Structure 1
Amino acid sequence: MNTVPESRKSLDVIIVNWNSGPFLEKCIRSLYSSATSMDFRIIVVDNNSDDGSCDSLSVRDSDIIVKLESNIGFAGACNEGAKRSSSYYLLFLNPDTEVGRTTLDDAVRYLDSEPLTGILGVRQESAGGHVMPSCSRFLTIRNLINDATGLSKIIPRLMKPSTVMTDWDHGYSSYVDQVMGSFMLVRRDDFNTLGGFDERFFVYFEDMDFARRMLDYGKKSFYNNDIRIVHRGGASSEKIMAERLFYSLSSRIKYADKHLGKSKKNMIILISLFPEFITRSIYALFRVNGFRGFKDVLKGYRLFIKWLTAGS
């Protein structure tokens, strides 16, 4: 078992909170219950929540709570937390997660032993113990068409999903294009060298953009199935489904513009507006509370079209 040198045994856990309710307190309790030999500090950045989730937190004197006057988005809030960090390692952690007793030590020990790994993600399980997909592919036109037509749901083994690797067995450890930002361990020096998260991504695709830039920098993303957390998922975003759809669509276009070029960006806009809209609408109507889901799709697309016509 590798031993982490004392000079690198420091960790800041950055948690971005927005109306996470009781999940945030549970997340912090799980961190305090860690059987870790490291010095670690918790930095909570609250994106102007209105549910009181950050008002009565019981934290140590060494921990930091930053209350922002407005919601600046996930990427911006992560960067605000990182500005207050002084540790060797940074862990970006969702408030609706809970770590195991050895998660922190195991994760830092692994990343410390792999100098060419720039980002580490871990096995994420639901409260019921089911493994949740937490790895993604970089966006391509071909795979987006698979999603937009619904083929990736019908025959995912043949028609690979656009980003989230629902077709891949998460029971294995492997290098991947991207691990999701719900648990992302990095070296602070690498994070600063890359300039942190790109704040043009309010939410969604900021982690894919960061992974793409990390790969261009010469380091890969690794998914470690032997280290686990519990991720309840959607603690904040499930309350605002239409807005969630809008940010997903618009952030995808921003990613395409930055990494794929103008022609592919325009193709992705067309795919998003036509076949994907139809597929999303049909899928929403056949789910429980289908009409409500359909209304969310319509609202999300109205916001998206307004954003596009404003010059995106």
Structure 2
Amino acid sequence: MVATHPASRVALLFTGSRPDVSMKLIISIVVYNWEADVLRSSLVALSRSLDVADSREELTSCELWLSYNGPGKLDEIESTNLVQGVFSWPYRLLLQQPNLGYGGTNNLVLRNRVFTDKALDPGKTAILVLNPDVWPEPDAIAIALAHLRSDPQVGLVCPRVLDRDGEVDTPGHKRYPSLAVLAARLLSPLMRIAAFRHLNERYEYRDTSLAAARLGVELCSGCFLMARYDYWKTLNGFDERFFMYFEDFDVALRGVEHGWAHLYEPSVRILHAGGGAGQKSWQHRGWFVRSAWTFFSRHGWRIWRV
């Protein structure tokens, strides 16, 4: 279903002057647990960040694809009213999507809707894959788009990720993992051992300044994947062998294989409510272990070194 919006918003999007270098942004959000209050507040933050990008002429237009792949059937009218009441940009709400995992459900939008759209200009289009429990700060999207516009070697922009209160860094950019560091993150008592804490610090780039931009980071968190259209199209989206976890790391490594650089930009700030696998249920830990096996089998095993 396609949302309807006030004529003033449509006019703002499609009339008036825009520099040729401004970009169209396509956003894909997959929701499994439909928590109305969380989703409502995150869409408010997203809409505000889009408004800032528009005011800075970094954005020509935007379209949000919001897919629900969770259990049970949502009320179509209530769901539409929730989104339309807080999100002031064009969107499409896809209810009752099959649960193909995080990457697989996003691929339904990327492969079946976005990559087949012949009207898109690949050189002037960016795609943001976003978690529903993420709150971009007002200028986050504008800054990310500006980097993609101005530096052709940058394929993907990694944000500075903070906790829900905006006080604690929870880095989304990481180095290539080892079995040891993943074990420590899955089994938190191991973090009491100094050697494991040191590994985790390197894994999260905490041995560098989180306040400084860094070109060439290895991996980026899937909670906010802002990349060029060509980046996503070349990779054909996510590898669906990863039902949950590591699909984002796989994307990043394949992006590097195709010659793209990843930029960690700390001024692109987001708040994220999600927790690590060690804080999840045993089912999630099982998915984590299976996906880790798939990841290392494809990209190479490391026992200790990060």
State if a TM-score over 0.5 links the two structures: yes
CA distance in 2, matches of 1:167, 1:61: 37
CA shift for structure 1 position 163: 8.5
1:171 to 211, 215, 218: 211
Determine if the alignment matches structure 1 residue 6 to structure 2 residue 23.
no
- Counterpart in 2 of 1:36? 53
Structure 1: unaligned runs, 5 residues or longer: 272-312
Residue 138 of structure 1: which of 151, 154, 176 is its match? Answer: 176
- The change in CA–CA distance for 1:184 and 1:148 in structure 2 (over 3 A counts) is closer
For 2:199, the equivalent position in structure 1 comes to 160
The correspondence for 2:293, drawn from 253, 262, 277, is: 253
Q: 1:70 to 1:145 in 2, by over 3 A?
A: closer
Asked whether the 8 Å contact 1:144–1:162 carries over to 2, the reply is no
State the shift of 1:106 in Å: 1.2
Which range is displaced more, 217-226 or 152-161? Answer: 152-161
> Which residue of the other structure, out of 104, 126, 132, is the alignment partner of 1:89?
126
What CA deviation, in whole Å up to 9, does each residue of 1:196-219 have, x standing for no partner? 110110010001111111111111
CA drift of 1:100 comes to 2.0
Aligned mates of 2:270, 2:228 — CA distance in 1: 20
Aligned twin of 1:227:
268
Cα deviation, 1:112-142, whole Å, max 9, x if unaligned, reads 2221222111112223222222122113356
Q: For the residues of structure 1 that align with 2:233 and 2:255, how far apart are their CA atoms?
A: 11
SS in 2 for 1:58: helix
AA aligned opposite 2:250: D
Deviation at 1:238, TM superposition (A): 9.5
1:58 corresponds to which of 83, 91, 94: 83
- Post-superposition shift, 1:62? 3.0
**One-letter amino acid of the structure 2 residue matched with residue 47 of structure 1:** N
Contact 1:12–1:90 (8 Å) recurs in 2: yes
Tell me which of 30, 55, 67 is aligned to 1:45: 67
Cα 1:145–1:159 shift into 2, 3 Å:
farther
CA RMSD between the two structures:
3.2
Superposed CA deviations along residues 171-204 of structure 1, whole A, max 9, x for unmatched, are: 2221311110101111112211111110110010
Q: How far apart, in 1, do the equivalents of 2:234 and 2:255 lie? A: 10
Letter in 2 for 1:252: A
**C-alpha separation between the residues in 2 aligned to 1:113 and 1:71?**
37
Q: Is the 8 A contact 1:147 1:153 kept in 2?
A: no
> What's the CA shift for 1:165?
1.0
Report the alpha carbon displacement of residue 98 of structure 1 after superposing the two structures with TM: 1.2
**1:25 pairs with 2:40:** yes
Cross-structure match for 1:205: 246
Q: Is the 8 A contact 1:36 1:102 kept in 2?
A: yes
Q: Would the aligned equivalents of 2:160 and 2:266 in 1 still touch at CA under 8 Å?
A: yes
Selected match of 2:145 from 92, 108, 126 = 108
Equivalent pair of 1:146/1:162 in contact (CA under 8 Å): no
TM-score (norm 1): 0.73
> Partners in 1 of 2:23 and 2:256 — Cα distance?
25
2:228 aligned with 1:187, yes or no?
Answer: yes
- Count of aligned pairs: 260
Q: By how many angstroms is 1:245 displaced?
A: 0.4
Question: Using the alignment, how far apart are the partners of 1:19 and 1:9 within structure 2?
Answer: 31
Structure 2 runs not aligned, ≥5 long: 1-17
Maintained 8 Å contact 2:148/2:154: yes
CA contact (8 A) 1:17 1:49 kept: no
Q: How many Å separate the matches in 2 of 1:14 and 1:128? A: 24
- Residue 166 of structure 2 corresponds to residue 129 of structure 1: yes
Whole-angstrom CA distance in 1 between matches of 2:89 and 2:186: 49
